Amino acid sequence: MRRSMSAAAAAVVLAGLITAAAPAAAAGAACTPDVLRLPALAAGPSPAYGSVRAFGAGGLVAGESVGLPAYWTADHAVHAVPLPEGFVSGEVLAVNAKGLMVGTLRRAGAPDTPYGFTYQKGAAAVRLIGGGSASSAVTDVNDSGRSVGTEGGVAKEWLNGAVVRELPVPADAHPSTRIVSVKGINARGDIVGTAQTSYEEDDQPRGKTFPVVWPAGGGYPPYSLQVWTEDDPTVRTAAAGIDDRGRVVGHEDRSHRDWQERKPAVWKKPYDALPNDPGRVKGYDHVTLDGLSPATNVAVGSAVTFVDGYPNFLHAAYWPGTGAPLALPHPAGTGPDSRSSAYAASDDDRVGGTFYDWETMKGSAVIWTCASKQAYAPQS
């Protein structure tokens, strides 16, 4: 069942506890703040989980419900993406204005091996990349129908199911460099992903992970984006997406046994400088940026505090493009130990993500409408 929180209820819950954010430029006069918990599919392999990963046109949103790829129409009705025989789980990672969805599926007995797919809303079946013969992932699609991802360890761009180009390693990269993920494509066709370099020099491990931007059309060489940390095997810097202005967001991860750090990062054209760190949500030690709006400068993700290496405190984060990141409220009536994360932002001031109620042990896909009017700075 979906629960929502009106603007009046939000004001009561948050009074005395928060400082509101300034509205985003895209928030119109008719915008009504709400926290919508979307309905779930009847059954699936992960009954306590759901997430919104992408916004389409006409109220269409897409993501995952109970471990299955799913989408919701404007009336909030949930629909399952049809699974090919032998596949048991998956998620939709992106959808364009024409209802073309992309994502990954998983076979029974092989939960760690993804297979990329495309699916047109309302179709009887998905299209598996390469016929499902090799591990693959399709992670984003733009309104021109160009999708991006990897197949058999090779970074690729597709159009109408056919490979348009393979995405090369930057010419200035070390020979050991390989592309490990492709995460986004903007309206123009610029693509962002992450590369990894690993080698030894003078008996010392060397290398780094770093974002790469491939300009639209392939007529210009790819950019290697600068990172804060190199030659440290405990650190990984990865891109999460690219907006229509070419701005890239992501984060630096430092992981060593119980020691965990997450540092948000923002790169801007002409990609000739170190990334900017927008700061932290008050009361949390770390922030990740995991998605961004196409044209309104908004980025979203998670504020997190680790305890003994575990993310015991996790809260959806909202960054309006200036100032420090903020928090997004949880649905009314839920417990203080509940958790949330944000993955997608639209130009009409919606944010999509996941919410988990720690008291009921149930999760759901969630949408924050008029998010800029709900984002707040915690007071403790």
What is the per-residue pLDDT across 219-236, written as a single tens digit (0 to 9) for each?
899 999 999 999 999 999
What's the pLDDT at 380?
Answer: 65
Tokens of 323: 């100032």
What's the pLDDT at 143?
Answer: 98
Model pTM score: 0.91
Domain segments of the chain as ranges: 50-166
Q: Which of 326, 302, 306 is nearest to 315 (CA)?
A: 302
How does residue 312 score in pLDDT terms, banded at 50, 70 and 90?
confident
What gap in Å lies between CA 296 and CA 320, rounded to an integer? 8
* Rg (alpha carbons) of the chain, rounded to whole number: 20
Consecutive H or E run containing 301: strand 299-307
Q: Which residues pair with 265 in a beta bridge?
A: 250
Whole-angstrom CA distances from 322 to 180, 298, 356 are 30, 9, 28
287-299 pLDDT per residue, tens? 999 999 999 999 9
CB burial class (10 A; 0-12, 13-18, 19+) of residue 204?
exposed
What gap in Å lies between CA 255 and CA 377, rounded to an integer? 27
Could you tell me which residue, 203 or 136, shows the higher pLDDT? 136
- The C-alpha torsion from 30 through 35 and 38 to 44, rounded to 10°, is 150
How does residue 13 score in pLDDT terms, banded at 50, 70 and 90?
very low
49-97 pLDDT per residue, tens? 999 999 999 999 999 999 999 999 999 999 999 999 999 999 999 999 9
In whole numbers, what is the pLDDT of the chain averaged over residues?
Answer: 92
What's the pLDDT at 4?
Answer: 33
Consecutive H or E run containing 93: strand 87-95
What's the pLDDT at 204?
Answer: 87
Above pLDDT 70, what percent of the chain?
Answer: 92
Q: Which residues pair with 79 in a beta bridge?
A: 71
89-139 pLDDT per residue, tens? 999 999 999 999 999 999 999 999 999 999 999 999 999 999 998 999 999
What's the pLDDT at 336?
Answer: 84
What is the pLDDT averaged over residues 296-309?
Answer: 96
14-37 pLDDT per residue, tens? 333 333 454 454 444 578 999 999
Could you tell me which residue, 380 or 143, shows the higher pLDDT? 143
150-181 pLDDT per residue, tens? 999 999 999 998 999 999 999 999 999 999 99
What is the pLDDT averaged over residues 131-148?
Answer: 96
Q: Is 180:197 a contact under the CB 8 Å cutoff? A: no
What's the pLDDT at 203?
Answer: 87
What's the pLDDT at 93?
Answer: 99
